């Protein structure tokens, strides 16, 4: 019976292949400015003594990728940020652990469906980055949300990507 339910779930799962491909940031400076303002507002929540440490950490936690590589093979989703090692995980599976490029602390990653978005969640020791990928016409829109128990409010922003030529 559980095998039948699993096959049924796969049959009705969303088709994420329209997200597949190589995407580059559309170059809209206003989006990058809004992202930088969101990070600055979050850093301003900290007292003056630690603000200088908090802002670079928030900058690192709130990506500004120049592009993405996305590959979809059934429920196996591979997402790579330009210049970094792509990571593959099973859609809907429990979080899996990996060590990001240039870091020595492991994080957990999970990929989920949420409505019309494919969501990639990266959980680190100091917070969580959720990236929601959605195809809008010929563009890839990625909404980011950085949360931490050290932040009063999450850092949220959106970036738009177009197919690489």
φ, ψ for residue 60, nearest 5 deg: -70, -35
Q: 114 — phi, psi (to 5°)?
A: -135, 100
Residue-wise pLDDT tens digits, 93-152: 999 999 988 888 999 999 999 999 999 999 999 899 999 999 999 999 999 999 999 899
Chain centroid offset of residue 108 CA: 12
CA distance 107 to 120: 13
In the chain, the number of structural domains is 1
Beta-strand ranges (E) seen in 21-148 are: 21-25, 67-73, 76-81, 87-90, 96-98, 107-114, 117-124, 127-136, 139-147
72 has which bridge partners? 77
Q: How does pLDDT run across 71-86, given as a tens digit for each residue?
A: 999 999 999 998 899 9
Is the pLDDT at 7 greater than 80? The verdict is no
Query: Quick one: average pLDDT of 34-53?
Result: 90
- Per-residue pLDDT, 141: 97
On the question of pLDDT at 1 being above 70, the answer is: no
Q: Residue 60's domain is classified under what CATH number? A: 2.40.128.20
pTM of the model: 0.87
Tell me which residue range forms the domain holding 82: 2-163
């Amino acid at each position: 019976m559980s095998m039948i339910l699993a096959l049924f779930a796969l049959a009705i799962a969303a088709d994420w292949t329209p997200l597949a491909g190589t995407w580059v940031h559309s170059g809209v400076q206003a989006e990058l400015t809004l992202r930088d303002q969101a990070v600055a507002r979050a850093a301003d929540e900290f007292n003056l003594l630690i603000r200088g440490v908090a802002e670079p950490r928030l900058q690192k936690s709130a990506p500004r990728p120049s592009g993405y590589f996305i590959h979809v093979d059934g429920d196996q989703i591979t997402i790579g940020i330009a210049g970094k090692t792509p990571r593959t995980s099973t859609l809907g599976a429990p979080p899996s652990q990996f060590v990001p490029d240039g870091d020595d602390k492991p994080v957990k990653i999970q990929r989920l469906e949420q409505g019309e978005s494919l969501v990639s969640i990266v959980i680190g020791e100091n917070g969580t980055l959720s990236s929601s990928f959605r195809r809008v016409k010929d563009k890839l829109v990625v909404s980011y949300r950085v949360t931490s128990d050290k932040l009063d409010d999450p850092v949220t922003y959106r970036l738009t990507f177009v197919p690489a030529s």
